[in-house]
Structures are given as C-alpha cells and as structure tokens.
A and B are shown apart, each in its own frame.
Chain A
Amino acid sequence: MTKRLETAVPGLDAILEGGLLYHNSVLIKGQPGCGKTTLGIQIVYNGAALFNEPGIIVLFEQFPQQLHRDLESYNWDVKGMTEQKKLIVLFPPATDLLSTPYMEESPLISNIIDAATNLGARRILVDGMTHFLKVLDSDANEREVYLKFLNALKSVGLTPILTAEGSPNDKNTGYEDFLSDCVIHLSNEAAHDTSFIMRQLSVQKTRGHGHIRGKHPYRISEKGIEVFPNIAPRLRDDSAQQQDSTELIRIPSGVDGLDNMLGGGFTKGTASIVAGMPGTFKTTLGAEFAAAGAKQDETSLILSLNENPRFLMQTMHAKGIELQPLVETGKLKILHFFPKHFYMEEFLQQVEQELASNGTARVVVDGVNELERSIEDPAACKDYLTRFLVALRNCGATSLFIQKLDRFTSSAPLTDIEYAALFDGIIYTATVEIESSVHKVISILKMRGSAYQTDLRELTCGAQGLQIRNKFHGISGILSGNVQGQYKKTIEEVFQPLYFVRDFLSMVASPDIDDAQRQEMTQSMSREISKLIDHLGKYFDVEKP
C-alpha cells in the first residue's frame, strides 16, 4: 500500500482510510467559522511535531499577531516549531503571486520554494484561496493560475492543503473542486429545532484512495479539531467462543420477583428495553440492575441522559437503593450526557472506549428518548442504536435501555415500542387503574432464547427498592384499561357466598329439611364463611383477620 500522509487529526485518518496521499492536493471548503484554517494548520503542525515532516503555512488573510493570538487557544507550540525550523509561517500580500507575468517567478512561489528547500518541507497550507483568487480577472485565468500554483508546490515535494469558502450545498461546483485531488467539506449548521450548532465534516472525493462517505461530526477544542467517524458497526466474530458455551448464563436483575419472571435473570450479553409510561419505576429498575452487578463485583455503567448523577443517587437513596457507595468503590460508574449537546458518534466513541477499558458487565442507558432527541436525523436513530448494541455485544455486556412511552398504550404495546425488533428482550411497565386505585404493573413481552412468564404483575416500590407482587388473579383487560375481572371476582368470591349463606340460613330452619341435610348445610355454610374471611383478609391485606 502506498505510504499515507497521516493527518493525525483524531478521527480523520480513519475516514480517509489511513490518511492522505503525498503530493495529492487537498481542498478544505466551508463556511466562515467552521474551522478550515484550524484543520489546515493542525495537519501541517502535526506533520512537523509528530512525523518530522517540516511544514509551511501561508496565510493571505491574517497578520502574524492575529495568528499567534488565535493559536494560543490550542495546545500547539507553533513558536517552538518555527524556532526548531520545522515550521515556517508566511504572510504574503495576495498580489505577490501575480506581481510578475510568469507566476513561477512570483515572490510568493520563490519564497515557498526557498522555504521548502531549506526546511525539507513536506506539507503546506495555503489559507484564504478565495481571497487570493479574487485578485484575478476572469474564471479561465483563475483556473490556470490555480493549476500552475498547485503544480509548482507539488514539484518541490509538497503536499498542498488549500482552504476556500463554500458550502456542500452549493449548486455550482468550482474548478478548484475538479483540480484538487481531495476535497473535504466542513459545515456548521444549527441542529433541527435547537440552537445547538452541528459541526460536520464530509469528504467529497479522494483521488487514489478510498474514504468513508457520510457526515462525520467534529468538535473544535484546545486539541484542535476532533472528528467522530460515522462508521458502520462490525459484529465481532465470537462464534468459536459461543460454541464452547451453549449454556445460558443468567444475570440477576436485582429484583427477585423479576428474576423469577425471567426464568432466573437476564441472559448474559443480551440487550433489553424497559418501556413504559412516566412514573412506572423504569429508572429504578435500571438502578437496581446496575447496583446488583456492582454489589457482586461486576463493573456497571449507567449512562444517564436525563438526570445528573447526584440527583439520580439521591432519588435512588430514597428508595433504599444505595448507588453512592458503589460509585465510590469504582464498581459503578454514572456518566451524564446532556441531550442535544453531544454527537452520537462522539457519544458512541466514548461509550466504546469506556466499555473496552473497564470490562463493563452491565450497562443501563436512560434513555432512548434522549438519544433520539440528540440525533438530527430521526431516521438515523435505528442505525445508531444498532451500532450501540453491536458495541455492547462485542464487549459481552448485558444491557438495559429505558424508553418512556408518552401515551397510555393499547393492549398491543409492542407496536408502540419503535425499536422493539432491535432488542433481545422487552419489559413493559404501565400505570393502571383497578377499582379506583392506581397500580404499577410489569410484564415481559419478549425475551429471545429464554422461557419467561408472560403474566402481568404488580410492581411496587418501597424503602427496600422494587418488589414484584402476585399475579392479578382473574382480572383481564388491565392493559386495555378495560378491567372486568375484578368485578367478576368480587361477585363470585364475596357476594355469591353471602347470597348462599343468606338463603341457606333461612332454608336450614325449614321443616322440609331432614337432620342430615341440616348438618350438611351448616357445614357448607361454615366452610364458605371461612373461605370468605380468608378472601377478605387477602383483599384488605390483613394477615389473620
């Protein structure tokens, strides 16, 4: 493979499939303020600082003081590099290039050639091409000058990097796009319905090598530009490993009753979604799951997108779930990301690094709604979730994603859970009204590759955390909000025995009844009354009425 010119701009070489090609001209285009100059300087500076490839920076539109002031915000030692003769910065007037009839003889070109020869320079940034081209008369002339200029730079072994103003949405492709070997677009546009500026880099072309298509978000920080490649996920091939262990490993959920419903806990390495209305203990369930892992010395990670860690710890403390001590032992980590203020690629990259470095066994993502909101293109959410799930799968973590459902769902809640198909398991929680009182309920709708209980259970939360109660015997239609069973149950188990005893009491005194019958009737009345007492005791939660 041809040796590549590594930009060492985080993420960019991956997008360029290894880097640029030496002597290929690069055009960086973008609107004002999107970091064209920064990117150009960073590529040249990195060459000098990291690869011993001296560089030249030509700035048409700036004064030296201005540049040094601007560069102070970055961790780059431009001054040191220039002192070590690894970098030279030129600030020529634009007219320098055309001050003679033969461009090759222009002071600018000769300065550059001198510098290139003296330093042994390999990389050059020529910033402000737009400005420089404005001094020219006509389009035809511009094209010719541009080409000659590039060739002059290439002829002395330089890899030219030029910047120009423009937007990827421009209908008119300029000649500079055609003449350049590589075109990189930078854009900074407000994200949908927010004031958050989305910075995105895209590669329009790379002559002689491939690149990853699509829009890749980037940030500008003191490190310069950092790009987060939007790369399709690749599932690690662990089929050999899987063959060794056909037995399912169970991961306790942290809630005993739920483990019973799950047939022993979640299956190791699976991703499940807990979907339900607000206030149905979804976050609590996630906290129980993470805490249970941390308590048995597994590393757990909570990615909290809607609450800051302190608030989460406080609310869970009130429910008897102590997260803080676990955080202090380092077994539990709570990371907070503010929705809309992060890029999915950046987020995923951080999560992937976190998973890889800590051997994380359990991950809770709270929640899916916030992830959705941070993604500009809603249609892309599924792709990101897929990539997320692949990353989790690759590291063998068992995960719970929490999704808030906005409305009371129908009796077919699966259709309301948009990403149901992506997950191995689906747990549904809801608030229901039964006989004028509100209950939280939980049900397992899907658990791939594992037997599970399908019935609806009551979910309660006290000072000891979450508890799963008994089944709702004889009640149907809870999810549809059309509860009928309670009525039937009350009729059959309370009123019917009372009617029975009432009538038998009057019959027992009747002369038509013989003694044997009388005795049997008394016994059966006594039996029914006892059962009724038991039943009412359970109903009113009185242990021995």
Chain B
Amino acid sequence: MAKKALIADDSKVIREIIASIIITVRRIETTETANGADAWEALQKNSYDLLITDLEMPGMSGQELVKKLRRELENTDMPVIVCTAEDIERYDDLYQIGVNAVLRKPFSPVDLLSTVDSLLK
C-alpha cells in the first residue's frame, strides 16, 4: 500500500515541488496544507507516514506543530522533515522537539528523496 505524506508549507510552489518529487519518484500519496493549523487538523483526522513541514507559517508555526504532534498524538513515531529557508544557527533545538531531519531551502530533490528513503525504511 502506498505511503502517505502530509506537506505543510505556506508557499504553493514549495508544496507542489515536494509533492511532484515524492509522488513521481517514490509514489507516495500527498496531502497539502498551507499552514500549521490546517496541518494539525489533517493530522488529527488522518494517519500519515511522514510529515514535511516549513517552520515559518502564518498562525501555527512548524515548531508548534511538531511539539503538538509529539505531545498530543498517539502515533508519535511519525518521521518529521523540516524544510526551511531560515538560517537556523542551532538545528539541535529542532531535533530536541522531535524533528528527524532538516533540509535547508533551496534543497536538492535528490537530498529530499534520500532523506525520505532513510526515514521510511
């Protein structure tokens, strides 16, 4: 059965690019949301194998989303990839809240695929 990924990013371009990469190359089903709150709603209603999220989004940020996910959802093992344009000095903080991998925008689709592969093994 095909794996399912949830993509949360306020940039439509980014959402579509991520979806194109993982759908066409890995045949992963995707759901796209433009902000943290919609992503949280989707996570509560459906089950996903992977979350790919931006950090800076209107309303609920990526960090808040991940914290809520790790704290409130039962499926806490779901891997989370953060894609961000921000120059984050300490990725450690992200790993501490439960992020599994961080990709800096612009990311290479090859890097995204290898990260997805390693997390969904």
A273-297 with Cβ < 8 A to chain B: none
Give Cα distance in the complex from A488 to B11, angstroms.
Answer: 10
Q: Is B13 close to A, CB under 8 A? A: yes
Which of B30-38, B63-71, B89-97, B100-108 lies at the binding interface? B100-108
Please tell me if A531 contacts chain B, counting CB pairs below 8 Å.
yes
How many residues from B make CB contacts under 8 Å with A?
19
Q: Using Cβ atoms and an 8 Å threshold, which residues of chain B touch A520?
A: 20, 23-24
Contact indicator A499/B24 (Cβ below 8 Å)? no
- Establish whether residues B25 and A507, one from each chain, have CB atoms under 8 Å apart when the complex forms: yes
The answer to whether the Cβ of B21 comes within 8 Å of any Cβ in the partner chain is yes
> Are B108's CB and A492's CB within 8 A?
no
Complex CA gap A290/B117 in Å reads 66
Once the chains bind, are A496 and B105 in contact (CB under 8 Å)?
yes
Q: How many A-B residue pairs have CB under 8 A?
A: 61
User: When chains A and B are docked, how far (Å) is the Cα of A493 from the Cα of B12?
Assistant: 9
A499 touches B109 (CB 8 A): yes
Chain B neighbourhood of A488, CB < 8 A: 56, 85-86
Q: Which residues of chain B (52-92) have a CB below 8 Å from chain A?
A: 56, 85-86
Is A130 in the interface zone, CB < 8 Å from B? Answer: no
Q: Does B110 contact A (CB under 8 A)?
A: yes
Query: What B residues does A498 contact at CB under 8 A?
Result: 106
Q: Chain A 58-72, CB within 8 Å of chain B: the 1/0 string?
A: 000000000000000
Give the docked Cα–Cα distance between A204 and B105 (Å): 77
Q: Which residues of A contact B105 (CB under 8 A)?
A: 491-492, 495-496
CB distance from A332 to the nearest CB of B (A): 44
Residues of A contacting B16 with CB < 8 Å? 524, 527-528
From B25, B56, B106, A517 is in contact (CB under 8 Å) with B25
> How far apart are the CA atoms of A496 and B17 in the complex, in Å?
8
Cα–Cα, bound, A474→B11 (Å): 9
B-contact bits for A485-506, CB 8 A (1 contact / 0 none): 0011001110111111001100
Q: Nearest A residue to B11 by beta-carbon distance?
A: A492
Query: B14 at the A/B interface (Cβ < 8 Å)?
Result: yes
Contact with B along A511-539 (1 / 0, CB 8 A): 00100010011001001100100000000
* Nearest CB of chain B from residue A512's CB, rounded to whole Å: 9
* CB of A493, distance to nearest CB on chain B (Å): 5
Q: Indicate the member of A492, A504, A517, A531 with the most B CB atoms within 10 Å.
A: A492
Known contacts A492-B85, A517-B24, A524-B24; A503 and B106 CB within 8 A of each other: no
Distance A474 CA – B110 CA, assembled complex (angstroms): 27
Main secondary structure of the interface of B (DSSP, over half): helix
A324-368 vs B: 1/0 string, CB under 8 Å? Answer: 000000000000000000000000000000000000000000000
A500's partner among B21, B85, B86 (CB-CB below 8 A) is B21
Residue of A nearest to B10 (CB): A474
Q: A528 to chain B: which residues have CB within 8 Å?
A: 13, 16-17, 20
Out of B14, B20, B106, B107, which one reaches A524, CB within 8 Å?
A: B20
Contact: A497 with B13, CB < 8 Å?
A: yes
Residues of chain A contacted by B108 (CB below 8 angstroms): 499, 503
Complex Cα distance, B22 from A504, in Å, reads: 12
CB-CB under 8 A for A521 and B106, given A496-B14, A497-B13: no
List, in ascending order, chain B residues with CB within 8 A of A496's CB: 13-14, 17, 105-107
Bound CA–CA A507/B113 (angstroms) = 11
Contacts of A503 in B (CB 8 A): 108-110
A488-B85, A528-B17 known; A500 vs B109 contact (CB < 8 Å): yes
Nearest A residue to B110, CB-CB: A503
Query: Smallest CB–CB gap between B31 and chain A, Å?
Result: 18
Residue of B nearest to A520 (CB): B24
Does B13 lie within 8 Å of A492, measured CB to CB? Answer: yes
User: Across the interface, which residues of A come within 8 angstroms of B24, CB to CB?
Assistant: 517, 520-521, 524
- What are the residues of chain A within 8 A of B11 when measuring CB–CB? 474, 492-493
Specify the chain A residue showing the minimal Cβ separation from B17: A500
Q: Which residues of B contact A474 (CB under 8 A)?
A: 11
- Compute how far the CA of A493 lies from the CA of B11 in the bound complex, rounded to whole angstroms: 8
A388 to chain B, nearest CB (A): 41
In the bound assembly, the distance between CA atoms of A504 and B110 in angstroms comes to 9
In the bound assembly, the distance between CA atoms of A493 and B23 in angstroms comes to 20
A497 to B18, CA, bound (A): 10
Q: What is the chain A residue whose CB lies nearest that of B24?
A: A520
Instruction: Indicate if the CB atoms of A499 and B85 lie closer than 8 Å.
Output: no
Question: B69 to nearest A CB, angstroms?
Answer: 23
Q: Within the complex, what minimum Cβ distance (angstroms) separates B115 from chain A?
A: 13
Q: Flag if A487 contacts B85 (CB, 8 Å).
A: yes
Residue of chain A at shortest CB distance from B54: A492
- Of all chain B residues, which has the CB nearest A531? B13
Q: Which residues of B contact A500 (CB under 8 A)?
A: 17, 20-21, 109
Beyond known contacts A520-B23, A528-B17: 19 more, CB 8 A cutoff = A491-B106, A492-B13, A492-B106, A495-B105, A495-B106, A496-B106, A497-B17, A498-B106, A499-B106, A500-B109, A504-B21, A507-B25, A507-B110, A520-B20, A521-B20, A521-B25, A524-B24, A528-B13, A528-B20
A-B contact pairs, 5 of them (CB 8 A): A488-B85, A492-B14, A517-B25, A520-B23, A520-B24
The 10 closest A-B pairs by CB, nearest first: A495-B106, A524-B20, A503-B109, A496-B106, A492-B11, A520-B24, A491-B85, A499-B106, A488-B85, A500-B17
